[in-house]
Amino acid sequence: MECLRVKLYTPTGIFKNPLSIKGIEVYPLPPYSTIIGLIYRAMGRKWNGEYFQISIQGDYQAIYRDYVWFKKHNFKDKELGRLPLQVPILYNLWLLVHIKASEELLNEIENGLKEPKELLFLSGGEYPVKVEEVKRVKCFEKNLSEEETVTLNYNAYIPKEFKEKISSSGTGEGVLFSLSYFYKNSQKPKTYSWVDAYYLQKGTEIYGSLILDEDNNPVFLAEPATEEPKKSEGKEYVRFYAGNWLMASACVGVLKVLENAGEDIKKYVEERTLKIPKDLWEKLPELYVDYLLKDKESVRKLLEDSYRQRGNDINPYNTLIYSGLRDFHNNSPFTNQSHEYIKRLKGVYSENLEEVLEKVKESFLEAYRKLLATTKDLSSICFFCHERQAKNYVDATTFTPLFASLETVRNFIWDPIPICKECEFLLYFASAGFYRSAGKYLFVYVPDDLLETYRLNLILSTGKEIEQEKLGKVWSIVKYVLDLEKQKSSWILQNIYFVEIEMVGDATANIYSFHISPNLAKAIRELIDNYPKNLQDIFSEFLFYIYTGRSLYEFLFLLLSGFIRKDSYKNLQGGTIESKIVQAGRNMKYISQNLLFFINFQEVLNMNEQKGYIDRAFWAGRELKKLYKENESTQKKLEPLTYRLLEAIRRKDKEYFIHNLIRAYLEVEKEIPYLFKEALDDKNFSMIAYAFLIGLNSEEKSKEEQANGDGENSESA
Ligand SMILES: [Zn+2]
């Protein structure tokens, strides 16, 4: 068999399915449809109904995460809303693609890729794609025994049917993705066929029934889907695919509801798929409302409070249901106040709790029927399950923080997204999936494993508060995630992330996400025990800095500024993160070596080799301080020197720093330590400058004193 082998290179790439919402569904390699699109652009023509087989492998140097701003335009209020979403971007990506097609088509593809008719881009990349090789290669089918394994040199998509014929060892079973493939039709709205494929990491050893090219690269050709998938099973189950954080949060909500109803939830989860038996699905609206009303004590208290405040204006539906759903499902059948089934509960209050709850329940079920009855006539397949007929478009009522209303707000980000009734109702469970605390919502997402996602979020909602603050809970999950590190592929580990939604208006929200990178995991594991005990008060602020990727040098600057310039901050107020750090600096009685922790931590994050510079710079500072203290005239100059050095650090002005350093050493008639000549370059500047400054201001204490004294080192604020 002959294939066309193509090697591509691109400096950056973000990969998502067509129609997919950036930042909520991304892949470690481009999906099939992306490569197919690239091939047709190279050929300079549109797809004309032909099919071919394709195999995709690739490797990248690093993943970084960056914010992308999305715009929501509100025509009614003439407002341009901005929505920050964090997306993982692959850096320096190489792709190895094999194509099998009829001779005629293969010729056309070959010529197209050798001399593309257009500049070629991969989705999300800012730079054109470089075609590095286009070559005909012979491929052979081989049956390899366990002794003759082949090692994957690239990460690879392996179609599900293919995967069944091979065995693998090394990095686990792989991660299952549902990937867009060819169009099903060429008219609008376009619908895709989908291929289930496992993502296996490079280094995995495989054997079994394989296809190898003449250079021994395995080839995993995806078959064009010929029939509608999952038809037979579709009768018994309603299936949902938790392929992004939004759907995952809804699935987690459903699992909480089912658990509350006494179900053994493990039965309903397979990897990232939630499958609910039809008869159970029919009962789900009722189980949901039972879940929302489950805590009878707090329900009673809420109603009593509301009655006390509003008297006959009380509406138990609003007190118990609307309040929980409005942030995520504004204006929906469940929350829109104009519906009769909500209005009629106004003034309903009775000592008989069950009677009231029964009425609330009735209204909730009516809202559900209203939701089912609101349909549009669409010919598309649902974007979320890839399976059922779409009956509506996603809009602000389905998930307010992310989507816009189709009538009043046109969205520049995505085309209307078709959704089936089942998936639409499911999204209402996102309210139960997220953990709500102090006006914010938090969710942890593990991309390949719905049950694990459920467990982690359970920790979030039930785990002990370490510091009575949200980040304390995040902390307990970080520790849990670190334990997962051994079992998960690095793609998964790098993509476990937290989604935080902060409502800033009725229909507007900020969505943040942060994740634990392998470097952060390493830094936490190795160093966290050295966190200065006298700075426990700002541990949350420290965590905020590291989760959100802000530099700890910035943190250290605030801390040292507070300490060194105590007087200028004596009227400082406010509860911002920055002012808390400065306050903590003011409260420090003396500075000790333990502050080097922040430098060490940052440098592990930076993957910078430290070569002992931190300690050397610290001791150089300590030594200089001693020399300054030896006589009265220089002693007075220590403080101004500190100010100037701090200023140089703030400005990141290396020249000014060195200039002051030279003057300082002249003052005490000493030669400037060799360290500064050797290592004070741009890369090491912050590391060395801060360590030196800490040394210059630190108190000389014996190790023992430090070990015992740290706890007493801070005044309470
Ligand atoms: Zn669906």
For residue 334, report the distance from its CA to the centre of ligand 1, in Å.
20
- Residue 644: strand, helix, or coil: helix
- pTM surpassing 0.75? no
pLDDT the model gives residue 170: 61
598-601: long-range contacts at Cβ-Cβ below 8 A with a sequence spacing of 24 or more? 598/552, 598/553, 598/555, 598/556, 598/559, 598/690, 599/552, 599/553, 599/556, 599/686, 599/687, 599/690, 599/691, 599/694, 600/527, 600/530, 601/523, 601/527, 601/546, 601/552
pLDDT the model gives residue 415: 59
pLDDT the model gives residue 543: 78
For residue 371, report the distance from its CA to the centre of ligand 1, in Å.
15
Q: Let me know how many helices (H) and strands (E) the chain has, helices first.
A: 27, 20
For residue 513, report the distance from its CA to the centre of ligand 1, in Å.
25
Report the C-alpha dihedral over residues 529, 534, 540, 544, rounded to 10 degrees.
Answer: -70
pLDDT the model gives residue 125: 59
* Residue ranges in the chain whose pLDDT is less than 50: 19-20, 22, 73, 75, 234, 409-413, 464-471, 708-717
* Residue in 248, 237, 173 with CA at minimum distance from that of residue 450: 248
Report the C-alpha dihedral over residues 261, 453, 233, 387, rounded to 10 degrees.
Answer: 120
As beta bridge partners, residue 86 has 67
For residue 385, report the distance from its CA to the centre of ligand 1, in Å.
4
pLDDT the model gives residue 486: 54
pLDDT the model gives residue 626: 93
For residue 330, report the distance from its CA to the centre of ligand 1, in Å.
21
224-259 pLDDT, tens digit per residue, is 665 555 555 546 899 998 888 899 999 999 999 999
For residue 282, report the distance from its CA to the centre of ligand 1, in Å.
16
For residue 28, report the distance from its CA to the centre of ligand 1, in Å.
24
Burial of 340 (0-12, 13-18, 19+ CB in 10 A): exposed
pLDDT the model gives residue 92: 86
For residue 240, report the distance from its CA to the centre of ligand 1, in Å.
7
For ligand 1, an ion, list residues with CB under 5 A: 382, 384-385, 388, 420, 423
For residue 382, report the distance from its CA to the centre of ligand 1, in Å.
4
